[in-house]
Structure 1
Amino acid sequence: MTQPTPDSTSQTWEPLVLTVAPNGARKTKRDHPALPITPAELAAEAEASLAAGAAMIHLHVRDAEDQHSLDPGRYREAIDAIRERVGNKIVIQMTTEAVGRYSPAEQMASVRAVEPEAVSLAVREFFSDPNLEKDAARFTHELAERGVMAQYIVYSEEDLQWFSSLRDTGKLPIQAQSLLFVLGRYTAGQRSEPSDLLPFLRANKPNYSWALCAFGPKEAACAAAAATLGGHARVGFENNLLLSDGTPAPNNAALIAQAVAIARAIGRPLASADTLRMAAKTVP
């Protein structure tokens, strides 16, 4: 399979950034035998997802017991394996997710040690403690100065308003590059609906760049909403194991392929890793 390339004839759409989230912090091979955990498995999944149309991989690593880890050495090992497999053809986004195991200080220390190209950060994890707000603000400005692509995760309309306030008051840099809207995080069974996007869109002022992720079998429908409404999408086993027809997805690349088919159907071109890097450089 060859990697889909952006359609140069389409002038009305911003290229769609598809991010694969292949494992997350909690799932194991008991949830799906094809869930990638080791560096070699993650590298193979990155290659397959790249070929299917992904521009970025959202990377989690595990410890010796397959538990969520922010260990810099394990991150470097996984990143090196992916780079050896696909070079710079995919953006590697490190997660800082705490999962109840890591403090903001530990999260920041891990990112500084790894020095990733891209990173995701939950607003409520980094800014919930007023005593640590100055440290968190210093850290986010440091990321901007180093050119790290930062994606800020928001779980609700209130989180999005919080993000705007932090940016307006200078606690987040003006270069804060994008948002991730998490749909259905606090709904029963964590099953997202495309309509879950609406409160975020109402609160998204002044129209920050955004992507979404969604839980459950309507992940593809939510990705379709994002593609149609000018956003971007993150799909993969972290949040959903099913194809849109309700059958188990054979791998993460199949979920990326579904989103690619949606983009093709509406005429929206796909972003490559280089497209994403260039867009990040043009953020004011």
Structure 2
Amino acid sequence: MAPVLITCALTGSIHTPSMSPHLPVTPDEMVAQGTAAAEAGAAILHLHARDPETGRPSADPAHFMAFLPRLAAGTEAVLNLSTGGSAVMSLDERLAAPKQAAPEMCSLNMGTMNFALYPMAERIADWRHDWEKPFLEGSDDLVFKNTPRDIATVLREMGETRGARFEFECYDVSHLVMLAHFLERGLVRPPVFVQFVFGVLGGMDAHPDNLLHMVRTADRLLGRDYAFSVLAAGRHQMRFAAMAAGMGGHVRVGLEDSLTIGPGELAPDNAAQVAKVRRIVEELGRRPATPAEAREMLGLKGAAATAI
């Protein structure tokens, strides 16, 4: 089996600062936690930005550039910028920072979907910021929009124009069908890196049968020149990572996807999750890929070809 690509998603746009004091928000926190995650074994850092004053998800390129150059200088990890941002952002907003940074890699959600976060609001009694509770509760009427036209725009702007490769986030079987459609059109070219996403209310639930079905479907639709990675939200994170690694796949962890390190125990930082999944991977007889190996496996253009 190939070495395991460990991706660490540092902060995301789902969790809010009131949920964990360890969620990185400021540029200093992003740099410290990103560097530590890379040192623990993450070859890829999946990156969102936040307003350092309020902790709110941000699409502002200035918020990204406050930490991206420092991460690039302090680690060899692949810097993977989200084009998903937050479901409340427009496509132009979501693409502003990736277009400016021209990174080696971007994430790309392969469909429009419900993105329901509101059950999380019931678990919080003390709120740090006044935007958090309405943001979560309002997600019962929230749709993340990524139409075929939107997807084609991202593929052209980030792929054809800027040479980025993609982490194709697939929350359902229909997203694999859409990915195969763009592969047939020639807007996606192999090798294809698919991120199966489980446990988000609006997408697939985190059941092992769904993982097996997604792998079989990807085998049928995408052919042999693809690799899959797995992330599962919340308490399912490490169980699904172990399944993925055992099946020859790759793994994603990080505080974007889960705030815990064990039942009822908050992770002290992103590096703790990376270290735990590294132990799982190694106990299964595999090893983490280095950043250099990640670049070779995914056909990346190299850090020197970015604008970071």
Same fold (TM over 0.5): yes
Q: Which residue of 2 aligns with 1:56?
A: 44
Equivalences for residues 210-229 of structure 1 within 5 A: 210-229=228-247
1:77 and 2:95 are equivalent in the alignment: no
In the alignment, the residues of structure 1 paired with residue 92 and residue 267 of structure 2 have an alpha-carbon distance, to the nearest angstrom, of: 37
Distance across 2 between alignment mates of 1:56 and 1:134: 24
Distance 1:53 1:134, change over 3 A: closer
In structure 1, give the amino acid aligned to 2:108: L
The structure-2 alpha-carbon separation of the partners of 1:282 and 1:69, relative to structure 1 and needing over 3 Å to count, comes to: closer
Tell me the equivalent position of 1:267: 285
Secondary structure in 2 matching 1:30: helix
Question: Cα offset for 1:204?
Answer: 0.5
Aligned to 1:38: 26
Asked whether the 8 Å contact 1:18–1:56 carries over to 2, the reply is: yes
Q: Identify if the C-alpha distance between structure 1 residues 219 and 106 changes in structure 2 by more than 3 Å, giving closer, same or farther.
A: same
The code of the aligned residue for 1:185 comes to V
Change (3 A) 1:141 1:91: closer
State the alpha-carbon separation in 1 of the partners of residues 190 and 95 from structure 2.
18
Alignment partners' CA distance in 2, 1:135 and 1:282: 20
> Residue 19 of structure 1 aligns with which residue?
7
> 1:72/1:267 Cα in 2 relative to 1: closer, same or farther (>3 Å)?
same
Does the residue aligned with 2:107 lie in a helix, a strand or coil? strand
How far apart are the structure 2 equivalents of 1:274 and 1:68? Answer: 30
1:183 counterpart residue number: 198
Secondary structure of the structure 1 residue equivalent to 2:261: coil
Among 170, 189, 197, the alignment partner of 1:174 is 189
For 1:54, what is the secondary structure of its paired residue? coil
Distance 2:58 2:195 in 1: 21
Contact 1:194 1:221 (8 Å CA) reproduced: no
Seen in structure 2, the aligned counterparts of structure 1 residues 81 and 165 have a Cα distance that, compared at 3 Å, is same
- How far apart are the structure 2 equivalents of 1:239 and 1:232? 15
Structure 2 alignment gaps of length 5 or more: 113-143, 302-308
Shift of 1:51: 2.1
Partner SS for 2:81:
strand
Partner SS state of residue 124, structure 1 = coil
The partner residue of 2:89 within 94, 98, 102 is: 102
Per-residue CA shift, 1:32-56, capped at 9, x if unaligned? 1111111111111012212221111
Question: RMSD of the alignment, in Å?
Answer: 2.6
Mapping for residues 120-269 of structure 1, pairs under 5 Å: 120-124=107-111, 128-129=146-147, 135-139=153-157, 141-142=159-160, 146-170=162-186, 172-175=187-190, 177-186=192-201, 192-205=206-219, 206-207=223-224, 208-269=226-287
Count of matched residue positions in the alignment of Structure 1 and Structure 2: 265
TM-score when scaled to structure 2?
Answer: 0.77
**Partners of 1:128 and 1:281 in 2: CA distance:** 25
- Describe the shift of the 1:19–1:282 C-alpha distance in structure 2 as closer, same or farther (beyond 3 A): closer
Q: Which residue of 2 aligns with 1:93?
A: 80
Residue-by-residue CA offset, 1:126-147 (whole Å, 9 max, x unaligned): 994456565445335415xx43
How far is the alpha carbon of 1:21 from its aligned partner?
A: 1.2
Unaligned runs of 5+ in 1: 1-12
Contact kept? 2:164, 2:300, Cα under 8 Å = no
Task: Quote the Cα distance in structure 1 between the aligned partners of 2:256 and 2:25.
Answer: 12
In structure 2, C-alpha distance between the alignment counterparts of 1:22 and 1:132, rounded to whole Å: 25
Instruction: Give me the whole-angstrom Cα distance separating, in 1, the residues matched to 2:149 and 2:41.
Output: 42
Is residue 66 from structure 1 mapped to residue 37 from structure 2 by the alignment?
Answer: no
- Amino acid of the residue matched to residue 181 of structure 1? F
Contact kept, 8 Å, 2:228 with 2:249, in 1: the verdict is yes
Secondary structure (helix, strand or coil) at the match of 1:37 reads coil
- Encode CA deviations 1:53-72: one digit per residue, 9 max, x unaligned: 11111111112432211211
Verify the 8 A CA contact 1:219 1:244 in the aligned structure 2. no
Identity of aligned residues (%): 29
Q: How far 1:176 sits from its partner (Å)?
A: 6.0
Counterpart AA for 2:295: R
